[in-house]
Amino acid sequence: MNPIRERVKANVPAVVLTLLGIIQALAVELLWSFVISEPTIYEPSLAALISWLQILSLLVGMLMIWLIYAMNVTRFVWVPTMSEFVTPFWVGFMQFLCIYSLEFDNPGAWFISFALIILTMNWIAHSTMKRARMEPDNAAFFNNRGTATAADFYPVFVVIGMMLAAGFGCLVIGVNQWLLLLTLVFGVGGYSVWQLHKLRVWWLRSVIDAEA
């Protein structure tokens, strides 16, 4: 048994989780600064409603990134790659860009950056689960469970496609506020409910397996 390998498995995910938490806190503080300093979001208008839905979507996205990584760290062990050390910085950069984009008159950049956040979220989940499956310590959970297929990612592809279409549509064609409202409510909102439900189901299955 390689002691360095075991030390890395035990320590690195916790270090990355701590750094991710710090960066998430900074992003929340930056978002709060926008909320209290931007007067236009308090006007009774459709544009203000869209801005609030963007803020809520971003908060839910931050929560899901934290939940995905934290739940994996507490359930599994795996050997991290070098990319895992820089993941918190990439997540932070995308979140800061998304918050900064809230100040633009054209919301296209926000939708594109949020699509990248959703992509990052699912990459974190898939990459950590893929490495966790390789470790015998996690066999109690992964035994008799098949690997993810392309069909498992269809909802993700649909939402990312909707966000990118809305973003580039705003930048190239122009802003259609009703279309943006539908994208946020049914696209982002529906995906968030579905993703949070999946996280809850897999967490409960992990706890039941552990107790069994």
> Is 40's pLDDT higher than 80?
yes
Torsion sign across C-alpha atoms 107, 110, 112, 118? negative
Side-chain-facing half-sphere of 159: CA atoms under 13 Å: 26
> Is 13's pLDDT higher than 90?
no
Spatial CA neighbour of 53 closest among 196, 200, 170, 179? 179
The predicted-structure confidence for 162-179, as pLDDT tens digits, reads as follows 999 999 999 999 888 898
Q: Which stretches of the chain are DSSP H helices?
A: 3-37, 46-75, 83-101, 108-133, 139-142, 154-172, 177-182, 189-211
Contacts of 92 (CB under 8 A, 6+ apart): 23, 24, 26, 27
Amino acid, res. 150: A
The structure's pTM equals: 0.86
pLDDT-derived band at 83, boundaries 50, 70, 90: confident
> Is 87's pLDDT higher than 80?
yes
55 is written with which tokens?
């803020």
CA distance 114 to 94: 8
Using only C-alpha atoms, the chain has a radius of gyration, in whole angstroms, of 19
Q: How much is the mean pLDDT over the chain?
A: 87
Q: Which of 17-21, 58-62, 109-113, 145-149 is least confident?
A: 145-149
Average pLDDT over residues 65-83: 88
> Is 1's pLDDT higher than 70?
no
> Is 124's pLDDT higher than 90?
no
**What pLDDT, on the 0 to 100 scale, is given for residue 209?**
53
Average pLDDT over residues 50-65: 92
